[in-house]
Chain A
Amino acid sequence: QLQVQESGPGLVKPSETLSLTCTLSGDSISSPSYYWGWIRQPPGKGLEWIGSIYYSGSTYYNPSLNSRLTISVDTSKNQLSLKLRSVTAADTAVYYCVRQHQLENYFDPWGQGTLVTVSS
Protein backbone atom coordinates (compact mmCIF):
# COMPACT_ATOMS: atom_id res chain seq x y z
CA GLN A 1 0.00 0.00 0.00
CA LEU A 2 1.39 3.35 -1.04
CA GLN A 3 2.46 5.79 1.63
CA VAL A 4 3.74 9.29 1.02
CA GLN A 5 5.55 11.35 3.61
CA GLU A 6 6.39 15.02 3.39
CA SER A 7 9.45 16.47 5.11
CA GLY A 8 11.14 19.83 5.36
CA PRO A 9 11.53 22.94 7.49
CA GLY A 10 8.44 24.12 9.31
CA LEU A 11 9.58 27.74 9.33
CA VAL A 12 10.88 29.78 6.40
CA LYS A 13 11.82 33.45 6.37
CA PRO A 14 10.16 35.87 3.94
CA SER A 15 11.95 36.18 0.58
CA GLU A 16 13.68 32.82 1.07
CA THR A 17 13.01 29.47 -0.63
CA LEU A 18 10.59 26.90 0.72
CA SER A 19 11.92 23.38 0.08
CA LEU A 20 10.00 20.19 0.74
CA THR A 21 10.61 16.53 -0.04
CA CYS A 22 8.11 13.74 -0.39
CA THR A 23 9.29 10.16 0.07
CA LEU A 24 7.23 7.34 -1.41
CA SER A 25 7.00 3.81 -0.11
CA GLY A 26 4.95 0.99 -1.57
CA ASP A 27 5.00 2.29 -5.15
CA SER A 28 7.52 3.53 -7.66
CA ILE A 29 7.67 7.17 -8.66
CA SER A 30 8.50 5.83 -12.13
CA SER A 31 5.07 4.27 -12.52
CA PRO A 32 3.61 5.37 -15.88
CA SER A 33 0.09 5.34 -14.42
CA TYR A 34 0.48 8.36 -12.18
CA TYR A 35 1.59 11.91 -11.81
CA TRP A 36 2.95 13.10 -8.47
CA GLY A 37 1.98 16.45 -7.11
CA TRP A 38 1.70 19.04 -4.40
CA ILE A 39 -1.39 20.70 -2.97
CA ARG A 40 -1.52 23.31 -0.22
CA GLN A 41 -4.09 24.57 2.25
CA PRO A 42 -3.66 27.84 4.16
CA PRO A 43 -4.86 27.62 7.77
CA GLY A 44 -8.65 27.60 7.85
CA LYS A 45 -8.97 27.88 4.07
CA GLY A 46 -9.52 25.70 1.03
CA LEU A 47 -7.31 23.59 -1.21
CA GLU A 48 -5.00 24.90 -3.92
CA TRP A 49 -3.28 22.70 -6.48
CA ILE A 50 0.38 23.72 -6.75
CA GLY A 51 1.70 21.51 -9.51
CA SER A 52 2.30 17.99 -10.79
CA ILE A 53 5.11 16.05 -12.41
CA TYR A 54 5.34 12.88 -14.47
CA TYR A 55 8.22 10.47 -13.95
CA SER A 56 9.62 11.55 -17.31
CA GLY A 57 10.06 15.03 -15.91
CA SER A 58 7.11 16.72 -17.59
CA THR A 59 5.68 19.32 -15.26
CA TYR A 60 2.38 21.15 -14.89
CA TYR A 61 2.32 24.20 -12.64
CA ASN A 62 -0.38 26.46 -11.25
CA PRO A 63 -0.03 29.64 -13.31
CA SER A 64 -0.31 31.71 -10.13
CA LEU A 65 2.90 30.10 -8.81
CA ASN A 66 4.69 29.25 -12.05
CA SER A 67 7.35 31.95 -11.86
CA ARG A 68 8.49 30.87 -8.39
CA LEU A 69 8.04 27.11 -8.57
CA THR A 70 10.15 24.07 -9.32
CA ILE A 71 8.95 20.49 -8.88
CA SER A 72 11.32 17.63 -9.57
CA VAL A 73 11.68 13.90 -9.06
CA ASP A 74 14.62 11.76 -7.99
CA THR A 75 13.81 8.31 -9.27
CA SER A 76 16.85 6.77 -7.55
CA LYS A 77 15.53 7.87 -4.16
CA ASN A 78 11.82 7.50 -5.03
CA GLN A 79 11.34 11.11 -3.98
CA LEU A 80 9.50 14.17 -5.15
CA SER A 81 10.60 17.69 -4.27
CA LEU A 82 9.09 21.16 -4.21
CA LYS A 83 10.93 24.47 -4.26
CA LEU A 84 8.99 27.73 -3.95
CA ARG A 85 11.11 30.85 -4.17
CA SER A 86 10.63 34.34 -2.73
CA VAL A 87 8.01 33.28 -0.21
CA THR A 88 5.72 35.63 1.68
CA ALA A 89 3.27 35.15 4.53
CA ALA A 90 0.65 34.22 1.92
CA ASP A 91 2.59 31.00 1.31
CA THR A 92 1.97 29.82 4.88
CA ALA A 93 0.01 26.60 4.53
CA VAL A 94 -0.14 22.87 5.07
CA TYR A 95 1.59 21.32 2.06
CA TYR A 96 0.39 17.91 0.89
CA CYS A 97 2.18 15.43 -1.36
CA VAL A 98 -0.24 13.46 -3.53
CA ARG A 99 -0.43 10.75 -6.14
CA GLN A 100 -2.47 11.85 -9.14
CA HIS A 101 -4.16 9.36 -11.43
CA GLN A 102 -2.63 9.97 -14.85
CA LEU A 103 -5.88 9.64 -16.84
CA GLU A 104 -8.54 10.67 -14.33
CA ASN A 105 -6.54 13.42 -12.57
CA TYR A 106 -7.90 12.72 -9.11
CA PHE A 107 -5.66 12.67 -6.04
CA ASP A 108 -5.25 9.53 -3.99
CA PRO A 109 -3.65 8.98 -1.58
CA TRP A 110 -2.57 12.14 0.19
CA GLY A 111 0.33 12.52 2.56
CA GLN A 112 -0.42 13.63 6.09
CA GLY A 113 0.72 17.14 5.21
CA THR A 114 3.34 19.41 6.69
CA LEU A 115 2.74 22.92 7.98
CA VAL A 116 5.12 25.53 6.65
CA THR A 117 5.01 28.96 8.26
CA VAL A 118 6.59 31.96 6.57
CA SER A 119 7.72 34.40 9.21
CA SER A 120 10.79 36.32 10.25
Chain B
Amino acid sequence: DIEMTQSPSSVSASVGDRVTITCRASQGISSWLAWYQQKPGNAPKLLIYAASSLQSGVPSRFSGSESGADFTLTISSLQPEDFATYYCQQTKSFPLTFGGGTKVEIK
Protein backbone atom coordinates (compact mmCIF):
# COMPACT_ATOMS: atom_id res chain seq x y z
CA ASP B 1 0.00 0.00 0.00
CA ILE B 2 1.11 3.58 -0.63
CA GLU B 3 1.33 5.49 2.65
CA MET B 4 0.59 9.23 2.58
CA THR B 5 2.18 11.46 5.23
CA GLN B 6 0.83 14.96 5.74
CA SER B 7 2.45 17.78 7.63
CA PRO B 8 1.83 19.65 9.75
CA SER B 9 -1.08 17.95 11.50
CA SER B 10 -2.37 21.38 12.43
CA VAL B 11 -1.53 24.98 11.66
CA SER B 12 -2.73 28.22 13.22
CA ALA B 13 -3.05 31.13 10.84
CA SER B 14 -4.76 34.48 10.42
CA VAL B 15 -7.03 35.76 7.69
CA GLY B 16 -4.85 36.90 4.81
CA ASP B 17 -1.95 34.56 5.62
CA ARG B 18 -0.34 32.26 3.10
CA VAL B 19 -0.70 28.66 4.21
CA THR B 20 1.14 25.63 2.86
CA ILE B 21 0.40 21.99 3.60
CA THR B 22 2.69 19.18 2.52
CA CYS B 23 1.99 15.58 1.60
CA ARG B 24 4.59 12.90 0.91
CA ALA B 25 4.01 9.48 -0.62
CA SER B 26 5.91 6.38 0.49
CA GLN B 27 6.63 5.56 -3.15
CA GLY B 28 6.54 7.41 -6.45
CA ILE B 29 3.07 8.46 -7.55
CA SER B 30 3.97 10.95 -10.28
CA SER B 31 1.15 13.51 -10.32
CA TRP B 32 -1.50 11.13 -9.05
CA LEU B 33 -2.65 13.20 -6.09
CA ALA B 34 -5.84 14.93 -4.99
CA TRP B 35 -6.60 17.39 -2.22
CA TYR B 36 -9.86 17.73 -0.28
CA GLN B 37 -11.30 20.24 2.18
CA GLN B 38 -13.58 19.12 4.99
CA LYS B 39 -15.50 21.47 7.25
CA PRO B 40 -16.95 20.22 10.55
CA GLY B 41 -20.10 18.18 10.04
CA ASN B 42 -19.73 18.15 6.27
CA ALA B 43 -18.45 15.72 3.69
CA PRO B 44 -15.06 16.37 2.11
CA LYS B 45 -14.98 18.49 -1.03
CA LEU B 46 -12.58 18.01 -3.91
CA LEU B 47 -10.23 20.96 -4.40
CA ILE B 48 -7.44 19.74 -6.66
CA TYR B 49 -6.71 16.64 -8.72
CA ALA B 50 -3.72 15.52 -10.77
CA ALA B 51 -1.57 17.38 -8.22
CA SER B 52 -2.25 20.83 -9.65
CA SER B 53 -5.57 20.88 -11.54
CA LEU B 54 -8.13 23.09 -9.84
CA GLN B 55 -11.60 21.56 -9.62
CA SER B 56 -14.31 23.65 -11.22
CA GLY B 57 -15.75 26.23 -8.84
CA VAL B 58 -12.82 26.18 -6.42
CA PRO B 59 -11.34 29.65 -5.74
CA SER B 60 -8.04 30.43 -7.42
CA ARG B 61 -6.36 31.15 -4.06
CA PHE B 62 -6.02 27.36 -3.79
CA SER B 63 -3.18 25.81 -5.73
CA GLY B 64 -1.30 22.54 -5.81
CA SER B 65 2.25 21.73 -6.77
CA GLU B 66 4.77 18.93 -6.64
CA SER B 67 8.50 18.76 -6.11
CA GLY B 68 10.01 15.34 -6.26
CA ALA B 69 8.20 13.18 -3.72
CA ASP B 70 6.57 16.15 -1.99
CA PHE B 71 3.21 17.65 -2.85
CA THR B 72 2.03 21.02 -1.59
CA LEU B 73 -1.36 22.62 -1.19
CA THR B 74 -1.12 26.39 -0.92
CA ILE B 75 -3.79 28.83 0.13
CA SER B 76 -2.43 32.17 -1.04
CA SER B 77 -4.56 34.40 1.18
CA LEU B 78 -6.52 32.60 3.87
CA GLN B 79 -10.20 33.50 4.05
CA PRO B 80 -12.58 32.90 6.98
CA GLU B 81 -14.32 30.10 5.08
CA ASP B 82 -11.03 28.26 4.60
CA PHE B 83 -10.69 27.18 8.21
CA ALA B 84 -11.13 23.44 7.84
CA THR B 85 -9.27 20.16 7.68
CA TYR B 86 -7.44 19.27 4.48
CA TYR B 87 -6.61 15.78 3.23
CA CYS B 88 -4.42 14.51 0.45
CA GLN B 89 -5.16 11.27 -1.40
CA GLN B 90 -2.99 9.23 -3.73
CA THR B 91 -4.90 8.40 -6.89
CA LYS B 92 -2.25 6.21 -8.51
CA SER B 93 -3.31 2.74 -7.45
CA PHE B 94 -5.60 0.60 -5.34
CA PRO B 95 -5.90 0.55 -2.39
CA LEU B 96 -6.53 4.29 -2.54
CA THR B 97 -5.12 5.98 0.55
CA PHE B 98 -5.39 9.31 2.33
CA GLY B 99 -3.06 11.40 4.40
CA GLY B 100 -3.87 11.91 8.06
CA GLY B 101 -5.21 15.43 7.57
CA THR B 102 -4.13 18.97 8.41
CA LYS B 103 -6.37 21.16 10.49
CA VAL B 104 -6.17 24.86 9.67
CA GLU B 105 -7.20 26.81 12.75
CA ILE B 106 -7.76 30.47 13.53
CA LYS B 107 -4.78 32.14 15.17
Using a CB–CB cutoff of 8 Å, the interface residues on chain A facing chain B are 46-49, 52, 60-63, 96, 101, 104-113
Contacts and interface: CB of A to CB of B under 8 A. Distances in A.
A106 B49 contact: yes
A41 to B, nearest CB: 9
A30 B49 CA distance: 23
A63 B36 CA distance: 23
Contacts of A110: 43-45
A46 B96 contact: no
Given A62-B95, A105-B32, A106-B89, 20 more contacts: A46-B99, A46-B101, A47-B36, A47-B87, A47-B98, A49-B95, A49-B97, A52-B94, A60-B95, A63-B1, A104-B49, A104-B91, A106-B34, A107-B46, A107-B89, A109-B46, A110-B43, A111-B43, A112-B43, A113-B43
A46 to B, nearest CB: 5
B43 A49 contact: no
Interface string B12-54: 0000000000000000000010101000001111100110000
A105 B96 CA distance: 8
Q: Which of under 10, 10 to 19, 20 to 34, or 35 or more describes the interface residues of B?
A: 20 to 34
Nearest to B35: A106
B43 A96 contact: yes
Contacts of A112: 42-43
B46 A108 contact: yes
B23 to A, nearest CB: 13
A61 B42 CA distance: 25
13 contacts: A46-B101, A47-B101, A60-B95, A63-B95, A96-B43, A104-B32, A105-B92, A106-B46, A107-B34, A107-B36, A107-B44, A110-B45, A112-B42
